[in-house]
Amino acid sequence: MTDRTPRRSETQPRCKLAAQEHGMTIMPLVLHGYRYSVYLRIVRLALAEKGVGYQRVEVDPFASDVPASYLALHPFGRVPALVHDGFALYETGAITRYVDRAFPEPSLQPAGPRALARMDQIIAIADSYGYWPMVRQVFSHAVFRPRLGQPADAAEVERGLAASTKVLAAVEPLIADGGPTLADLHLGAMMAYFVLAPEGAALLRQHGRLAAWWAELSARPSFSATDPGLPPAAGRVDGPG
């Protein structure tokens, strides 16, 4: 996996530079989302890898009073949502593909129908089978809830680990060299939470190729730049989303 993350010396977002070249005024991207959301981080990773600047608006989808202005962008009240020069978009996969198509190199999607299909397959596996056990069960109950002093269920962790075992085994032979692609970023955002649980990290170590993939991917500057951290140990914060 070759390091293609833009250098910090790139002081202007690519959308602004492209607009200047064509004599246009383009409004910056505005990204709405919840700080601890895996899906917000997936979009932030894509933007970081592309070197695209943006403004971020915090939205708590767990709140009882999600602003009407946000529901106008996302009628289901989930996160994230993106607004780019008046163009509003929700659903993580749609947003990341738009970002990759709308802005210059590096491309985050492979060439060729089979490689693209494999990318889509990994993203679908992560969403359909990985997110709930890896994030909502293992991370939430082993790390997030204890951090906040909230009730945690050890049985949920065990059930999450059992389901995650199948997920890791399924994706390990599918990951491709090179990249990163949208599939790497999608799965990587979930893996970042999963391995914060000692049990998750131990399970990953049993899958050598996948562990090597994660060691290389997680060392990229985009991952440190988008790390949401953990919430303060006092007060109420909702789940990772």
On the question of a cis peptide bond just before residue 6, with omega within 30 degrees of 0, the verdict is no
pLDDT of residue 17: 40
- Strand partners for 90: 81
Q: Give residue 7's pLDDT.
A: 32
Distance CA 34, CA 20 (A): 31
Cβ neighbour number for residue 2 with a 10 Å cutoff: 9
Contacts of residue 8, Cβ cutoff 8 Å, sequence gap at least 6:
none
The token pair that represents 32 in the structure block: 């709405």
Taking 70 as the pLDDT cut, the residues of the chain under it are 1-27, 234-239
pLDDT the model gives residue 6: 36
pTM (predicted TM-score): 0.87
The two structure tokens encoding residue 90: 């929700």
| Structural domains in the chain, sorted by start | 14-102 (3.40.30.10), 113-225 (1.20.1050.10)
* DSSP assignment of 13-63: -HHHHHHHHTT---PPEEEEE-TT-HHHHHHHHHHHHHT--EEEEE--TTS
What local confidence, expressed as pLDDT, does residue 19 receive? 40
At 37, list the tokens. 């959301």
The confidence score (pLDDT) of residue 187 equals 98
